[in-house]
Structure 1
Amino acid sequence: MATQITAAEFDEKVLKADKPVLVDFFATWCGPCKMMAPTIDQIATEVAGTADVYKIDVDQAPEIAQRYGVMSIPTLIVFDKGQVKNQAVGAQPKPAVMALFD
């Protein structure tokens, strides 16, 4: 299951992570975000141990969304060693999300 984090936790959990991290930028009112939630949770379970999966609410952490140019949600960004490796915008099928790790 993906863990929701706050702006205060972002640098420590995402940028300083020693493994790849998928961050789901979402909002509670976003229909496509709700549609993606079960897929994101499935992926979190499957990659446990080799990657981390976090969710960040853009309404609660607008500064983080702005830092990474998140204009539409859901936006999925994979970070590796603190750098953006891949990203996708909008609802994505599971294989497309998994491919972001490659």
Structure 2
Amino acid sequence: MKILDKKNFEEEVLNSTDTLVVDFYSESCEPCQALMPSIVEFSEKYGDQLQFAKLDTSKARRVAIGQKILGLPVIAIYKNGEKVEELVKDDATPENVESMIQKYI
């Protein structure tokens, strides 16, 4: 899983021609921490078909605001640099995330 930050987000996500799953999280967000093991599991399960990356929004606030990340956790799918789908807060359950991932593989 790639670690994103304010320096590499544009290059790795917005300028990418691949399909990526991006986990927007914060260390202080309990639901984010609860979801993280599932995201890691999905990256191992589907990593040969999709790229996985994560961004700590507390260290990249401008990037998060620019991507209209208003609450956490957010799991987003980017295709050719465009956000095409996302799950926010209570909708970001392991089951919903896996269903979303399966649409893009």
Fold shared, TM-score > 0.5 on shorter chain: yes
Distance 1:63 1:49 in 2: 30
Q: Which moved more, 1:3-12 or 1:52-61?
A: 3-12
Does structure 2 retain, via aligned residues, the 8 Å contact 1:19–1:50? no
Distance 1:54 1:60 in 2: 15
TM-score w.r.t. the length of structure 1 is 0.89
* Post-superposition offset of 1:47: 1.6
Distance 1:99 1:85 in 2: 14
Match of 1:86, SS?
strand
RMSD, aligned CA: 1.4
Report the CA distance shift for 1:19/1:98 in structure 2 as closer, same or farther (over 3 A): farther
Match of 1:88, SS?
strand
Distance 2:68 2:52 in 1: 19
* Post-superposition offset of 1:90: 1.6
Tell me the amino acid that sits aligned with residue 60 of structure 1.
Answer: K
Aligned to 1:70: 69
Aligned to 1:82: 81
Aligned to 2:45: 46
Match of 1:49, SS?
coil
Q: Which moved more, 1:60-69 or 1:15-24?
A: 15-24
Distance 2:46 2:11 in 1: 19
Tell me the amino acid that sits aligned with residue 37 of structure 1.
Answer: M
Aligned to 2:94: 94
Match of 1:8, SS?
coil
Give the 4+ runs in structure 1 shifted more than 6 A: none
Tell me the amino acid that sits aligned with residue 39 of structure 2.
Answer: I
More helix by percentage: 2
Tell me the amino acid that sits aligned with residue 97 of structure 1.
Answer: V
Distance 2:52 2:99 in 1: 14
Aligned to 2:12: 13
